[in-house]
Chains A and B, each alone.
Chain A
Amino acid sequence: MPSGDYVQPEDLTEPSELEARAKRLERQLHRERSVRQEAEAITERVTRELYDKQQRLVLVAIVAKAANEASGIEDAIATCLEAVRAHMSWRLGHLWLLDEADEMVSTDVWAGDPVRDAAFRAASRGLRFGPGIGLPGRVLAERTAVWMSGRGELSRLPRGIAVDAADLRTALCFPLFSGSDVVGVLEFFADRELKPDAELVTLMMQIGTHLGRVVERQRAADTLLHQATHDALTGLPNRVLILDLLTRSLARQHRNMDYRTAVFFIDLDGFKEVNDTLGHAAGDRVLRQVAARLSTVIRPQDTLGRLSGDEFVIVCEALTEEHPVVAIAERLGTAVREPIEVDGEQFLVTASVGIALAEDSDAAVALIEQADAAMYRAKELGRARYEIFSDELRERIARRLDIERALRGAIERGELRLHYQPEIDLRTGAIIGVEALLRWQRADALMMPGDFIGLAEDTGLIVPIGRWVLNEALRQLGIWTADEAIAEKPWISVNLSVRQLADPELMPNVRSALADHRADPSQLLLEVTESVIFDDAQAGLTVLTALRSLGTEIAIDDFGTGYASLSYLRRFPASVVKIDRSFIVEIDKDPRTRSIVEAIVTMARALDLSTVAEGIETAEQLAVVRQLGFDTGQGFYIAKPIPATEVARLLRAPRPFAGLVTSQS
């Protein structure tokens, strides 16, 4: 075989050619290795970035979770502070919060090793920085993160010496935002010198917004707590907080027998008039002034609170003798008595003060009630004075409670009675009406309305009692109506209290009582006092108009004692005016009284109202009221309130009092 026809392997293994080929392969290998390393480097970078990004997401998630779940601001921020510190591998973190003075105040919330950082923490304790001062102050003023590195720069900070001593090299401080307000600052320190990291700063600003929400929520909660325990008008502690303080004070008294707790119950005299004449806004200003004055006369350890309206309470703690109680009471009285100026007008306000000294076993609520009772007694005794709750007062209250308990069962036990006082026609002497008056046969004693009606009003018992009175009176009216021996059927008048008028059941009750006894509504005269339209004129007038629409008659009782203005009188749906007995008593002696009454009678006649003179006790009084032209007369001189059977006897006789009116005329 000719060798030249084939390319032999030897031909390709020329040393130079092999060498070139090996070199090429080596270059190729080197290139492949470089490509691999390049690819590895890229992957590393991407992996690291991904890791960092993930860690940031984890950090933000931790912060958001802590922000949402934490019960208190310090817990939440402590958790986040440590998470952020660990994320950055920095040495320590610290929280600053803005206070009312708009300064950043160092808190006790830290992250990092407490032992290693003890000196630096101690150097930061109690510090406060205004805008622009120190790191927190700079963040407060600039409203953005501050990054500082290098010992030189850091040592110029207000805490420079401590920063140096702790060998801190980098600081990052950023704001906590609530809306657009900086409410706090987080600061972090590293013990290495680190260049500003824009991504980290962005992340921290994001965290600052999360944590700002926590601060905001806490502030709102604090405000709510304050609102729940303080009176909005005066900023004083309210009943809730006063009871709490008092309970604690009583517990301390229990532990230390030398201490006593006293409660002052203060009620302003005549405050209602200020409110009524000047309006509530002025009344509120008076209350604020009174609150300010009261707070200046108490001792630093005492607490002033407002219960409601014009009722204030002072809790005096740790009294070692009784003397200060009297001194405080006198100072209170003097402080309130100074004229108060509102809207350029001066007002004189006085205070009735009740004081209760705690016995060992007293509960907070009971003590306030005792002070209240003593205050009530001070009012009874003429206002503008103080009374100390005593055993005597305790007995009075016990008696009152006793009456209340007994009164609750009085209707069921059939102890209530009605007596009737005749009202006579002053021209003919005929009985034209009778007023139903309540009596309570309690064991052997016959109790008069003055003994228990006030209590019935206070306790609301007046409503069932009033219902019984109405039914009983109409039942009696039915008997007289059916009595053929009685020619002239009288009206029957029944008193309605303000409390009854406010009872939504009043209308249905009156309607069903009229129906049950088949009574003629026009025979029922409902007596109300002027005070009905005093508290809430429109509501009072509405109820009276509704009652009138049932066909009943309305009388204004005790006329002349209240404050009803004539313009209300014009709208009052009444047909009868009963002039108060206080006028009648004087009518034959005091010419001025006589003139007033004369004017009232003239006016009533002009308004087409029938007039009744109440409380006629003498022949002279009867003579004058007849002269003045009263239509009807009522009083002891004519007839006392008497049981129904006796009234029936009088009713059967025609004009039983004719002798009175004829002999006088």
Chain B
Amino acid sequence: MKGIVFSLLEHLVVSEHGEETWETLLEASGLDGVYTSLGSYPDEDLFKLVGAASEALDAPADDVVRWFGRGAMPLFVERYPQLFSEHDNARSFVLTLNDIIHPEVRKLYPGAIVPEFGFDSSRPQALGMDYFSPRKMCAFAEGLLLGAGVHYGETISIEQPKCMNRGDQRCRLEITFSQKT
């Protein structure tokens, strides 16, 4: 897992719940918390942190990951504004994941494992999105999608008829974009 993910999580926890909470999560996970966006760290670290948060909040781990994804979006906007400014709606932005955004990720982190997406863009106000990643973090993708909706002032609803966590080969997200109000 790339350090940027830990960095974002730290940033999000600290800004929403304070320094203490981040320290508490680290302590509970038995981690030293030395992360920089330039390094790579065990996937296990992230899962431990999510597990600790899940326990502390008494909420399902997927909800924590979804919260993280949604909260991370504004941080992406802050760091990489040009990736967002070329689009005026969430659907158009999401469609650039494979061609623009993940190639950008690889520029910074050669060898990064990014999820593969497949898109069905046949319907104008909706998207069918296949997700495949050995990390099975479709909830993170969901959160990010919701965050993108917030950024573009849209309401996004997501259904997931297939999920790797439920034994499917890949996850299928059916995304519906609302008209802007």
Interface residues of A (CB under 8 A from B): 26, 29, 33, 36-37, 40-41, 43-44, 47-48, 51-52, 89, 192-194
B48-56, B99-107, B155-163, B169-177 - interface stretch: B99-107
Chain A residues, CB < 8 A from B108: 44, 47-48, 51
Q: Is B99 a contact partner of A43 (Cβ separation < 8 A)?
A: no
Residues of A within 8 A of B100 (CB): 89
Residue of B nearest to A169 (CB): B86
Q: Which residues of A contact B7 (CB under 8 A)?
A: 37, 40
**Does B38 sit within 8 A of A, measured CB to CB?**
yes
A147 vs chain B, min Cβ distance (A)? 15
Name 5 interchain pairs, CB-CB below 8 A, sorted by A.
Answer: A36-B36, A37-B7, A41-B79, A44-B108, A89-B103
A26 adjacent to B19 (CB under 8 Å) = yes
**Contact digits for B32-68, partner A, Cβ 8 Å, 1 yes 0 no:** 0000111000000000000000000000000000000
Task: List B contacts of A26 (CB < 8 A).
Answer: 19
The main secondary structure of chain A at its interface with chain B is helix
Contact at A89–B37, with CB atoms within 8 Å?
Answer: no
Bound: A194/B79 CA distance, A: 19
Q: When the two chains form their complex, are residues B38 and A192 in contact, meaning their CB atoms are under 8 A apart?
A: no
* B86 and A89 contact, CB distance less than 8 A: no
Which partner residue on chain A sits nearest B98 by CB separation?
A: A89
- With A48-B108, A89-B99, A89-B100 already in contact, the answer to whether A40 and B86 are too (CB < 8 A) is no
A51 and B107 within 8 A (CB)? yes
- The interface residues of chain A lying within 8 Å CB-to-CB of B86 are 192-194
Chain B residues whose CB sits within 8 angstroms of the CB of A89 once the complex forms:
99-100, 103
Residue of A nearest to B38 (CB): A43
CB of A444 to closest CB in B, whole Å: 96
Count how many chain B residues have C-beta atoms less than 8 Å from C-beta atoms of the other chain.
17
List of A residues within 8 angstroms of B11 by Cβ:
37
A residues in contact with B103, CB < 8 Å: 89
Chain B nearest Cβ from A92, distance in angstroms: 14
Instruction: Enumerate B59-95 residues with CB–CB distance to A below 8 Å.
Output: 79, 86
Chain B proximity of A30: nearest CB distance (Å)? 8
Smallest CB gap from B87: residue in A? A192
A226 to B155, CA, bound (A): 68
Interface contacts beyond A29-B19, A40-B37: sample of 11 additional A-B pairs, CB < 8 Å, sorted by A: A26-B19, A37-B37, A40-B7, A44-B37, A47-B107, A48-B104, A48-B107, A51-B107, A51-B110, A192-B96, A193-B86
Residues in B with CB closer than 8 Å to A37 are 7, 11, 37
Q: Which chain A residues border B79 with CB–CB below 8 Å?
A: 41
A44: chain B residues at CB < 8 Å are: 37, 108
Bound Cα distance from A229 to B86, whole angstroms: 56
A37 CB to closest chain B CB (Å) equals 7
Quote the shortest CB–CB distance from A166 to chain B (angstroms): 15
State A43–B107 Cα separation when bound (angstroms): 12
User: B36 CB to closest chain A CB, in angstroms?
Assistant: 6
Shortest distance from the beta carbon of A90 to any chain B beta carbon, whole Å? 10
Q: Which residues of A contact B19 (CB under 8 A)?
A: 26, 29
Instruction: List the B residue with the shortest CB-CB distance to A25.
Output: B19
Q: When chains A and B are docked, how far (Å) is the Cα of A51 from the Cα of B108?
A: 8
Closest CB pairs A-B (n = 6)? A51-B107, A40-B37, A48-B107, A89-B99, A47-B108, A44-B108
Minimum Cβ distance to chain B for residue A58 (Å): 13
Q: Which residue of A lies closest to B18 (CB)?
A: A26
B104 CB to nearest A CB, Å: 8
A192 to B104, CA, bound (A): 16
Least CB distance from B18 to A in Å reads 10
Using CB atoms, name the residue of chain B closest to A36.
B36
Chain B residue with Cβ nearest A43: B38
Q: Closest B residue to A45 by CB, please name it.
A: B108
CB distance from B110 to the nearest CB of A (A): 8
B169 to chain A, nearest CB (A): 26
Asked if A40 and B38 make an inter-chain contact with CB atoms under 8 angstroms apart, the answer reads: yes
Contacts of A43 in B (CB 8 A): 37-38
Residues in B with CB closer than 8 Å to A47 are 107-108
Q: How far is the CA of A189 from the CA of B25 in the complex (A)?
A: 49
A48 to B37, CA, bound (A): 14
Q: Which residues of B contact A41 (CB under 8 A)?
A: 79
When C-beta atoms are compared, the residue in chain B nearest to A54 turns out to be: B107
Complex interface: chain A residues within 8 A of B36 (CB): 36, 40
- What chain A residues lie within 8 Å of B99 (beta carbons)? 89
B158 to chain A, nearest CB (A): 25
Q: How far is the CB of B4 from chain A (nearest CB, A)?
A: 8
A37→B11 CA distance, assembly (Å): 10
CA of A193 to CA of B86, assembled, Å: 7
Contacts of A52 in B (CB 8 A): 107
Residue of B nearest to A26 (CB): B19
- From B110, which residue of chain A is reached at the shortest CB distance? A51
Q: Which residue of B lies closest to A39 (CB)?
A: B36
Max chain A Cβ within 10 angstroms of own Cβ: one of B37, B96, B100: B37
Closest-CB distance, A414 to chain B (whole angstroms) = 92
Residues of B within 8 A of A40 (CB): 7, 36-38
- The minimal Cβ–Cβ distance linking B74 to chain A, given in whole angstroms, is 15
Nearest Cβ on chain B to A320's Cβ, whole angstroms? 60
Shortest Cβ distance from residue A416 to the other chain B in the assembled complex, whole angstroms: 90
Q: Nearest chain-B residue to A48 (Cβ)?
A: B107
